[in-house]
Amino acid sequence: MKHLYAIKTFVAVLAYLCLSVQTASGSQALQDSLRSLAENPAFVNLSIIPGVEVDLKYATTDNFMKENLYGEFRVAFLHRIAAEKLRLATVVLLQLKPGWKFLVFDALRPRSVQRKLWDKVRGTDQQPYVANPEKGSIHNFGFAVDLSLINEDGKEVDMGSKFDDFSKLSEPALEEEFLKTGKLTAVQVNNRRTLRKVMTEAGFQQQPNEWWHYDALPAREVRVKYPIVE
């Protein structure tokens, strides 16, 4: 019995060590993937765009996963086509709301991170809010951005629900209904409309069930023309 216990203990320790090595390897691969973007002319660091501030939620525990998925990485990238549209959006925003800025929560997201999100929501009520990594989220190509607005006082405006709030309250199509029932205020809805107006005028398309998510190009076009970032 002692020999059997020793064997089981050895197997358990070996399995733990193998998992630790795989996790470390995966984490390093993610960091390498993110760092390589800085040297790729197809991608732009959003921090260089005036009127854009970055708060990468997946580099913190302030997200629906309650987990830091990006490690120490704190830079938001977009494909240069999407970045130019965001640059245009900052000009439109300044004209409409002088002193206001964008607050970026997420931009390019490697597919390895997308798989973790998918594993969390698959088979739950939250599944419709996360793209299947097999086909890829538009985030995985660098053509999607999650963002909100900062007012002239430097404060994030009230959108009525938080980023990653996967509920009906976050859906743009239901805003009028929630306004009538008092679940959203006129101020919150107007803030969403401001974001929508600015982003769509700059050439972005809003994701149907998330007020914060905008695509720079149609999904079908992106998946055909551009490489995914692993």
On whether residue 53 sits in a domain, the answer given is: yes
On whether residue 143 sits in a domain, the answer given is: yes
> Residue 155: which CATH number?
3.30.1380.10
Query: Encoding tokens for residue 93?
Result: 């925003």
On whether residue 175 sits in a domain, the answer given is: yes
For the question of whether the overall pTM of this predicted structure is more than 0.95, the answer is: no
**3-class DSSP state for residue 102?**
strand
Q: Which of 198, 137, 202, 196 is nearest to 171 (CA)?
A: 196
Give every CB contact of residue 120 below 8 A, 6+ residues apart in sequence: 64, 65, 126, 130
For the chain, give the number of residues: 230
Phi-psi region of 51 (alpha: psi -120 to 50; beta: other; left: phi over 0): left
On whether residue 230 sits in a domain, the answer given is: no
Task: Report the pLDDT value the prediction gives residue 38, as an integer from 0 to 100.
Answer: 81
* CB of 108 closer than 8 Å to CB of 54: no
pLDDT at 21 over 70: no
Overall domain count for the chain: 1
Residue 43, beta-bridge partner list: 79
Give every CB contact of residue 114 below 8 A, 6+ residues apart in sequence: 130, 131, 133, 136, 137, 139, 140
Task: Report the pLDDT value the prediction gives residue 26, as an integer from 0 to 100.
Answer: 53
pLDDT in tens, 124-183: 999 999 999 999 999 999 999 999 999 999 999 999 999 999 999 999 999 999 999 999
> Residue 213: which domain range?
2-225
pLDDT in tens, 68-121: 999 888 899 999 999 999 999 999 999 999 999 999 999 999 999 999 999 999
On whether residue 47 sits in a domain, the answer given is: yes
pLDDT at 43 over 70: yes
Q: Which of 127, 71, 104, 106 is nearest to 195 (CA)?
A: 104
On whether residue 148 sits in a domain, the answer given is: yes
On whether residue 20 sits in a domain, the answer given is: yes
Q: Which of 196, 62, 69 is nearest to 139 (CA)?
A: 69
